[in-house]
Amino acid sequence: MGGVEPAAAQRKSAVIRNPQDFYGGLALVGLALFALWASRDLPGMHGFAFGPGTAPRLFAILLGIIGAAVAAIGFFTNGPRLEHYAIRGPLFITASILVFAATIRPLGLVISSFATIVVCAAATSEVRWIETFIWAAVLTLFCSLLFPYGLNLPMQLWPRF
Amino acid sequence: MMDLITNLIHGFAVAMSPTNLLLCLIGTLVGTLIGVLPGIGPLATIAMLLPITFGLPPVGALIMLAGIYYGAQYGGSTTSILINIPGESSSVVTTLDGHQMAKQGRAGPALAIAAIGSFFAGCVSTVLVAALGAPLTSVALLFGPAEYFSLMVLGLIFAVVLAKGSILKAIAMVLAGLLMSMVGSDIETGQSRMAFDIPELSDGIGFVVVAMGVFGFAEIMRNLEQTATREIVQAKVTGLMPTLPDLKAASGAIGRGTIIGSILGILPGGGAVIAAFAAYTFEKKMAKDPSRFGRGAIEGVAAPESANNAAAQTSFIPLLTLGIPPNAVMALMVGAMTIHGIVPGPQVMTKQPDLFWGMIASMWIGNLMLVVINLPLVGLWVRLLRVPYRMLFPMIIIFCSIGVYSLNNAPFDVVLTGIFGLVGYWLAKHDFEPAPMLLGFVLGPLMEENLRRAMLIARGDPSTFLTRPISAGLLLVALLLLVVAVLPMIRQKREEVFVESDA
């Protein structure tokens, strides 16, 4: 990992030599700044006792420094170019998780599971719809038996009216 | 010595109870299953099964979860050997020679040697856990807050040094994890920190949420990008027994693999994956004819498979004696213990001897079960491997979603897990390792608590970490480690910069 790809040699003229690290480091600096902002109201050191805000600020500042260093090194030394982001997989996986979160309370486990499985199955281009619906039905049945009955978890199966 | 034996006998009595035997069997079977299936690891599985253990007695629950971990090391080899895809990340190197052996029609001996190696390593490391438990616990009792803090610093540095790739990025990940662990209520004052008045965040971000998102969901997103065709060795697996020369060649490798694995397992930040890599590399360097490796050398199967199993078990040592999880899976075990109201640490051994010794004994029993059940079941595992990933991943998604939801009955947790899935995907794209982040996240609250206490006791003087001998020693080791790891890297980077500016 992190080795210089042959392609990198051709990009000597590129301004940012290792965009993976450069943008990664910048994002961490962003996270650190965000944490500093989020903990701005917390009381800090009180005499020699730590306040609630001391440790978060301490770690945020350290993260900011290291993140900046990662970005700086990424700027000056060669590295792999940015990897291609897939859209389909992350999109449908995230969508299915959101579907589950949105429907589990109002609609119950049966409808929620079925919908979640169908949505996330679309995350791959290999999806076969008829197979998916049958598989979703089987899995839903399995989950509806396993979690509320097999494991005694308090879960509501059907919509509440 | 006598104490050890009486304790072990007590442990076996606990582990042999019908319930615990059954739970051990379930754990090892589930572990083997997920070990065999690529794309689902022990971390996601243990996270998924955490809610299930609510209803179980604590000893049984932990026996089962431990079984999943070492069972997975076992199952991973089957997939590596038969289809050239690692079933588990700790079995990556096993593919190199294991699959070559299978192609040469020697799948049987490869599987058998992996099983024998794992079993031997399991036996040795069980004894190690038992033997090291008591002395380490008494050391831990001498520790004050300053020592604990320094020990955790050392642990995190280990994790950083052993992570693959850039050390600086690994440190950044640790810090990000520490920072995330601060979300929620302050331990001492109860004041809400960085929670933005979201009620679900007032208790902090759940560990399972982070682990399942970064390791479970993100893993699926990445797997979906590679449409690898699985090439299963079609030939029937016949002739399981390795020949006498095979055994001779493998025995040394098994021994060395066990030693390397045991050491790397105890070290924080180590664990099964690194152990397997190290054992393979070592074996290759030791060999008279290194070119045999990658072409079906039996040592190339025996060493990493012994090492990963040994490491999986010895990584329980720091958890059970010091209360410090050395890797992400052990961090989940902390979660499991907390659910049952057990605080991991030196007091576990004295206050919960049933748990401590029962778990150790169950490891040996579990390893025995694995040998007995695993080889006859190879045919079944092969059939399972024909299940395409497009059917497998929706199953993982729904189980994970239900699992996360059932922890607190909170849909918000599920959404947060989804967000961490995207974060994990992004991290992978930028070549950041999520494991150090998770370790930082777990150790965060403990570290802060001990740091604050140590500072309070020393009346605000930070030199307390350097004037107390044990603490100073631990920090010195951490510093040395860091220097040793960083020096060659700086030199390399400098050269790179200079070469570039000359051009």
Expressed as residue numbers, the domain containing A115 is 88-150
Instruction: Give the end of a domain, one of A19, A52, A76.
Output: A76
- Per-residue pLDDT tens listing for chain B (503 residues): 677 788 888 888 888 899 999 999 999 988 888 888 776 777 777 877 777 777 788 888 889 988 888 888 888 888 888 877 777 777 778 888 888 888 888 888 888 888 888 889 988 988 888 888 778 878 777 888 888 888 888 888 877 877 767 888 889 999 999 999 888 888 777 788 888 878 778 888 888 788 888 878 888 888 888 765 555 555 556 666 777 788 888 888 999 999 988 888 887 666 777 788 888 888 888 888 878 888 888 888 889 889 988 988 888 888 888 888 877 788 888 878 877 888 887 788 788 888 888 888 898 898 888 888 777 787 777 777 777 788 888 888 888 888 888 878 888 999 999 999 999 999 988 888 887 888 888 888 888 888 888 888 888 788 888 888 888 988 998 899 888 877 776 666 656 555 544 43
Do A18 and A70 fall into the same domain? yes
pLDDT at B494: 58
User: Which residues does chain A have within 8 Å of residue B503's beta carbon, measured at their own beta carbons?
Assistant: 12
Residue A157 inside a domain? The answer is no
- Examine residue A129 and state whether it is found in any structural domain, yes or no: yes
Question: CB distance from A18 to chain B under 8 Å?
Answer: no
Residue A83 in domain = no
Give the chain B residue whose CA is nearest to the CA of A102: B411
Classify residue A31: in a domain, yes or no. yes
pLDDT, tens digit only, all 161 positions of chain A: 444 444 444 455 567 788 888 889 999 999 999 988 988 888 877 777 777 888 888 899 999 999 999 999 888 888 788 878 888 889 999 999 999 999 988 888 899 999 999 999 988 888 888 889 999 999 999 888 877 777 677 778 888 76
- Give the chain B residue nearest A37 (alpha carbons): B194
Judgement on whether residues A49 and A96 belong to the same structural domain of the protein = no
What is the rounded distance in angstroms from the CA atom of residue B279 to the CA atom of residue B311? 11
Claim to verify: residue A100 and residue A54 sit in the same structural domain: no
- By Cβ distance, the residue of A28, A39, A105 closest to B411 is A105
CA distance B21 to B34: 20
**CA dist list (Å): B411 to B9, B405, B415:** 46, 6, 7
B239: closest CA among B105, B145, B69, B408? B105
A69 and A13 in a common domain:
yes
SS3 of B193, please? strand
Alpha carbon of A160: minimum distance to chain B alpha carbons (Å): 16
In total, the C-beta contacts within 8 angstroms joining chain A to chain B are 209
Is A1 within the bounds of a domain?
A: no
Q: List alpha helices for B38-106, DSSP H.
A: 42-49, 58-83, 92-103
Identify whether A160 is part of a domain: no
The torsion angle over the Cα atoms of residues A98, A100, A104 and A106, rounded to 10 degrees, is 50
B220 to A89: CB separation less than 8 angstroms, yes or no: yes
- Report the pLDDT value the prediction gives residue A146, as an integer from 0 to 100: 79
Ramachandran angles phi, psi of A13, nearest 5°: -75, -15
CB contact under 8 A, B178 and A143: no
A122 and B CB contact within 8 Å: no
DSSP state of B185: E
Residues A145, A101 share a domain? yes
The alpha-carbon gap from B110 to the nearest alpha carbon of chain A, in Å, equals: 29
Q: Are A97 and A56 in the same domain? A: no
Q: Which residues of A touch B451 (CB under 8 A)?
A: 50, 55
Residues 6+ apart with CB under 8 A from B108: B237, B238, B239, B240, B241, B242
Residue with structure tokens 């990009």? A11
CB contact under 8 A, A2 and B165: yes
Point out the residue among B168, B448, B503 whose CB comes nearest to the CB of A70. Answer: B168
Chain A residues lying within 8 Å of B425, measured CB to CB: 90
A67 with A92, same domain: the answer is no
pLDDT at B1: 65
Among A41, A76, A111, where does a domain finish? A76
Domain contains A159 = no
- Does residue A100 sit in the same domain as residue A65? no
DSSP B392-449: HHHHHHHHHHHHHHHHHT-HHHHHHHHHHHHHHHHHHHTT--HHHHHHHHHHHHHHHH
Residues A114 and A146 in one domain: yes
DSSP A127: -
Q: Using CB atoms, which residue from A31, A49, A97 is nearest to B418?
A: A97
Q: Please tell me the distance in Å from A23's CA to the nearest CA on chain B.
A: 8
Residues A19, A61: one domain?
Answer: yes
Q: How many domains does chain A have?
A: 2
Percent of chain B whose pLDDT exceeds 70 = 92
Select the residue of B172, B191, B432 nearest A52 (Cβ to Cβ): B191
Tokens of A125: 């281009």
- Residue B229's pLDDT is what? 54
CA angle centred on B255, ends B254 and B261, rounded to 5°: 85
A66 occurs within a structural domain = yes
**What does the pLDDT look like over B217-271, one tens digit per residue?**
888 888 888 765 555 555 556 666 777 788 888 888 999 999 988 888 887 666 7
CB B456 to CB A66 under 8 A?
no
**Coil, helix or strand for A48?**
coil
**A53 and A11 in a common domain:** yes
Residues 6+ apart with CB under 8 A from B129: B313, B314, B316, B317, B320, B360, B363
> Rounded distance, CA B233 to CA B297, Å?
18
